[in-house]
Amino acid sequence: MSKHITIYFVVLALLLSAALPIFALDIDMVPIPNKNYEMLRTEVTQELYIEVMGKNPSDFQPNVENLPVESVSWFDAIRFCNKLSEMEGLESVYKKRGATVTQNTSANGYRLPTVEEWEYAAKGGEDYLFSGSNAIDEIAWFHDNYWRGENATLKTHPVAQKKANGYGLYDMSGNVWEWCWDEKPYNNAYRLACGGSWDHELADCKVSGEGDWYRATDRDNCVGFRIVRNIK
């Protein structure tokens, strides 16, 4: 084979590979009815975080396959989103300059939900106080499980062990708080997290979207995240 033909095939292979996802993971995304986005069925697990980022910051180990990742900052979460997008050949949503982060809302890559998107998905097309039920023990790991012996060690629990909501999403109430895109009015050092956690009270687990404010740099073992992606 001549040198010129060899170069041609090498260039062709590079062009073809550029058009394909660099790395394919099994990401179980759920299309949200009547909306133009899909959402991860569970909170991001430690296993998925390791596959994308190559490390595990979580306090609660070693059941990395099914435990939600935690002890991740808001900045860690958006880095994860961009890295996963790159691995799958999608357009990254976020750009960061210093402490300032902007998002391309038309990009097809992974991102954090807005509080409105989170609340709509958490309700699951149903009229409950919590995500999937008015009986919180059916759908959530939260602090009061401790007094009933169900959350005896006060920690995170494997995802998707309790009842899903009407859209098939698990743990939208409890287990870990979930970072959202939204920043605190008049203080962009803080970002909103929704859904309550294993270490928080019943009222924090409601689907109202009120949530709690954490510094974007905080890494707390009751805070994780869930990802969304635009679809047509």
CATH label of the domain that carries residue 188: 3.90.1580.10
- Does any domain span residue 13? no
Predicted local confidence at residue 12, as pLDDT = 40
- Does any domain span residue 18? no
- What distances in angstroms separate CA 47 from CA 112, 194, 210, 215, 220, one per listed residue? 19, 22, 29, 25, 18
Predicted local confidence at residue 16, as pLDDT = 42
Domain containing 37: what range?
24-230
- Does any domain span residue 190? yes
Output the pTM of the full model.
0.88
Q: How many whole angstroms separate alpha carbon 114 and alpha carbon 110?
A: 13
Asked if residue 3 has pLDDT above 70, the reply is: no
- The per-residue pLDDT of the chain, averaged, comes to 89
- Does any domain span residue 141? yes
Tokens at 210, concatenated: 């009120």
Q: Which residue has the tokens 């041609």?
A: 8
Residue pLDDT, tens place only, 6-64: 444 433 444 444 444 445 687 999 999 999 999 999 999 999 999 999 999 999 987 77
Report the domain count for the chain: 1
- Does any domain span residue 14? no
- Does any domain span residue 144? yes
- Does any domain span residue 16? no
| Nearest partner of 45 among 225, 230, 220, 173, judged by Cα | 225
- Does any domain span residue 4? no
User: Residues 170, 205, 228, CA angle at the centre, nearest 5°?
Assistant: 45
